[in-house]
Structure 1
Amino acid sequence: MKSLIAGALVAVSLSAVAVAEGPDKAKLDGRIQAAHAVLHELMATPDKNVPLDIAAKAQCVAVVPGFKKGAFLIGGQYGQGVATCRTGHGWSAPVFIQLTGASFGLQAGGQSTDLVIVGINRRSMDDLLKDKVKLGGDIAASAGPVGRNSQASTTELANAEFLTYSRSKGLFAGVDLTGDVVHQNGDDTMAYYGKDIPYQKVLAGEVVPPASAVHFLATVNQMFRRGKANEGK
């Protein structure tokens, strides 16, 4: 009798865990799809997109859909997103990130916005492997130019490791995220893959992308390939 009760309790526990994990995975799938939608919509408007010459340099791409700004005593912001880095055989499976920081100029009230962060050199992946990095502090970051061609010849842009963008109410523009902090979201990454996989292994391309990430990675790759095809024109 006791063994039957114990077995029933174990079954209930496992069922509860499955129920708890289900919505988390669905939420993460939804976040990836939201990131895909942001990039897909930007790709449809080349004149208001990441410039082709910058897309051609992309080493890592992070998208934070629905980034929130709170109206507290001082402005605060918080967002959850996904990131991928270029490897020798395509774009890596995604990892999950958090972005936190102070308020920035383009937002007002309790608005939300979509953020796109493009790493344009090989240090980008190294910095995403750190537990947290401050934009404009630990790493060089600048508001990115917009349009088919960047005409980004200033010293600030030339020295930048990440270029940062914001999209709100149809407006896509470079945004200054200096002081914001990018954190690894190990809990969500572990929940998505079902086990604890190091960021380095994922971003290095050693993990097969799950089916729910295929569209996002394909859109990132399309943006990159458009940029490479434009080189020399």
Structure 2
Amino acid sequence: MRRLRYALTLALGLFVAAPAMTTPAHADDTPQLLVDKSLGSLRAILNEKGLEPAREHLKQAKGVLIVPDLIKAGFILGGQAGDGVLLTRGADGSWSGPAFYQVIAGSIGLQAGVESRETIFLVMSDAGLKKLMQNEMKLGADASVAVGGVGAGVGAASTGNPEADILVYAKSKGLFGGGSLEGGVVKPKPEMNKAYYGADVTAEGIVMGGGRTPAGSAELRKELAAND
């Protein structure tokens, strides 16, 4: 009886702690550091075994949201969160400067552990891109989403909907069972956009306005162009 009570207490403690663990591990990152991490994550995913289709889909994408650390943690009740940058392809084929975003998702299922995934969201449709320009976009509701593949030994999964607005590719660093991005929320981070551009600018103004592009994003834009 004592052992059962201890096990239940431990499980409850992990359950209560789970939501707090969904906060991005690098929430204090500067905007430039997030841009630099995004460059590394993009390269890692495009070169990951099992994620080869990501390169071909990138060539057709209207935009790409790169999240270097999509953290997933929990016990029974799980969640995911991470900061990232969105870049879009212009009519001339060039890539915009980065706009800063946050991804928040929750899930309920038999889950245990902590996992960090380098993740890219390839925006394949104009409708999906338009929805991202809103203050808040719900994955699966405002825009259809499908998993293109998950690497690092987790096992590739072909998307069941090649016509989805958004295709997701991820490189996993850890083990985690269950969960889904369906119902997750993607929204801009005004404070990071202001810090990076030195002015109150909207995400839409950054990626669609054709304004100043900080020199610190040159390598990231160059990498995207090299994979066109």
What TM-score do you get using the length of structure 1 for normalisation? Answer: 0.72
Residue 162 (structure 2) pairs with residue 157 (structure 1)? yes
Is residue 192 of structure 2 the alignment partner of residue 207 of structure 1? no
Structure with higher helix content: 1
Change (3 A) 1:211 1:170: farther
How far does the alpha carbon of each residue in 1:87-146 deviate from its partner, in whole angstroms, 9 at most, with x for none?
A: 1231111100000011488x8512211111000122232111101111111111111158
Aligned to 2:225: 221
Considering Cα pairs closer than 8 Å and 6+ residues apart, tell me whether 1 or 2 has the greater RCO.
Answer: 1
Paired position in structure 2 for 1:191: 195
Find the counterpart in structure 1 of residue 44 from structure 2.
Answer: 41
1:74 aligns with 2:65: no
Which has the larger Rg? 1
Distance 1:205 1:55, change over 3 A: same
From 31, 34, 40, the equivalent of 2:34 is 31
1:205 is displaced (CA, Å) by 4.6
The answer to whether the 8 A contact 1:143-1:176 is kept is no
Map residues 77-226 of structure 1 onto 2, 5 A cutoff.
Answer: 77-89=80-92, 90-103=94-107, 108-145=112-149, 156-158=161-163, 160-169=164-173, 176-223=180-227, 225=228
Q: Whole-Å Cα distance in 1 between the matches of residues 102 and 96 of structure 2?
A: 18
- Structure 1 pair 46–78 and aligned structure 2 pair: CA distance change class (3 A): closer
Residue 186 of structure 1: CA displacement? 1.1
Percent sequence identity over aligned pairs: 27
2:62 is the counterpart of 1:59? yes
| Higher normalized strand content (fraction of residues) | 2
